Amino acid sequence: MSRDKGELSKPRPRVYAQNREQLLRGKILDRYPSLRRFALDAGIPYSTLMTLLTRGVGGASFDTVARICHALELDIAELYCGDQIDDLRRQAGKSAEISRIAFGDKPENLRK
């Protein structure tokens, strides 16, 4: 079925070059000779790492993801936000600046 040029199309979901699991696997194998060696160095069970890489980061505990990111020197926010991280950081900086202007630098001003 073809569409007319004037017909509105549904927005398409954003497609990332890699998903989180592929990103982690690639970063691990760039730095370590094997996934097993990484798991030992990161202090997590190999079976946990393999489950995370095959079933998804979303089902893993935060502590496990934090250990992996720490071992890879990877910001957790980058892992979860992908290419949106720079925009989010800019927005957070603007929000912090607005708060400083509105309330001053004193924490007690924020409680009022």
pLDDT in tens, 11-66: 444 444 468 899 899 999 999 999 999 999 999 999 999 999 999 888 899 999 99
Dist. CA 104–CA 112, nearest whole Å: 12
Q: Report the C-alpha gap between 78 and 57 in whole angstroms.
A: 13
Domain chopping of the chain, boundaries: 20-74, 82-112
- How far, in Å, CA of 91 to CA of 87, rounded? 6
> How many CB atoms neighbour CB 68 within 10 A?
26
Q: What is the pLDDT of residues 70-98, one digit of tens each?
A: 999 988 877 777 666 666 666 666 666 66
Q: Which fold has domain 20-74?
A: 434 Repressor (Amino-terminal Domain) (1.10.260)
pTM beyond 0.75 = no
Res 79: pLDDT: 78
Residue 112 burial (C-beta neighbours within 10 Å; 0-12, 13-18, 19+):
exposed
